[in-house]
Amino acid sequence: MNQISGTMFFLGTFACAFAFGFPVGPSSLEMLRLATMKLRSQSWSLAAGVACADAAWALAALAGLLPWLNVGRPEHKGPLFLLTALICAFLAWRGGPGPSRPHGEKQARGRFSFWKGALLAATYPLTFGSWVVSLAIMRGIGWCVPAGLPWLALFFFVVFLGYFTYMALLQALFKHLFHRLEAKCNGWLHRLPRRLLLALAGLFLGLAAAEFLSLP
């Protein structure tokens, strides 16, 4: 691998992973919900799960597996949109923080948050094409796409780091805003994540209905 083009490839990979987190989705809204409930450890577990799943999709795109997996076919979009709507509705339906729990149960809930984040990222239908386009652009401008197991492992780590950095900054921003607004919001800040999740559920339900109606 050419050193300069290889360095640019991995810098571009990190930048893409960081930027792909910006669109508002179920994972960022769930992190906002956890932040308003002051469940910091669960927020970190959620971020790790999201980053792992997104890095796995990026690795699949790099390896050329997405066409083989039939990802993005028109007949698959409706079920994915519907699944995302159901997940958003479930997260919005969940109640607020319960009574204090023993340490072991908190650890179990942290592990659940990791797999919840992985599921949110793995099923989010707007993620699939991003890496295919980005990798094609990198190839087009001459940046080397790595081959070999060590480079693939490094690629996975860089994508994970990019997504996790964005999620960490997002959590820090939520924490800062929450401390500033908590005394003034009179409780509406705690209800905001659920309302946004319900709105997102309605949006994806409408997209699912449109996809189902458009099928021959």
At 32-73, the pLDDT tens digits run: 778 777 777 888 898 899 899 889 888 888 877 655 444 455
Q: What is the mean pLDDT of residues 111-140?
A: 78
* 27 in any annotated domain: yes
Say what percent of the chain tops pLDDT 70: 74
* 14 in any annotated domain: yes
CA distances from 62 to 55, 120, 136, 147, 207 (A): 10, 21, 9, 10, 28
Q: What is the spatial distance between Cα 213 and Cα 129, in angstroms, rounded to a whole number?
A: 23
Per the structure, the complete domain to which residue 138 belongs is given by 3-96+113-214
Q: Which positions ≥6 away from 25 have C-beta within 8 Å?
A: 120, 124, 126, 200
- The structure's pTM equals 0.73
* 155 in any annotated domain: yes
In contact, 58 and 159? CB cutoff 8 Å? yes
* 166 in any annotated domain: yes
Q: How many domains would you assign to the chain?
A: 1
* 60 in any annotated domain: yes
* 103 in any annotated domain: no
pLDDT value of residue 14: 92
pLDDT value of residue 101: 45
Q: What is the mean pLDDT of residues 131-137?
A: 81
In contact, 9 and 146? CB cutoff 8 Å? yes
Helices (H), the chain: 3-20, 26-36, 40-62, 65-68, 74-93, 103-123, 128-140, 149-185, 188-214
Residue 73 phi/psi, 5° resolution?
A: -65, 145
pLDDT value of residue 157: 94
* 71 in any annotated domain: yes
Residue 178 phi/psi, 5° resolution?
A: -65, -45
Whether the pLDDT of residue 158 is over 90: the answer is: yes
Q: Find tokens 């401008």 and name the residue.
A: 141
pLDDT value of residue 188: 60
Closest to 199 in 3D by CA, of 21, 25, 23, 35: 25
* 102 in any annotated domain: no
pLDDT value of residue 100: 42
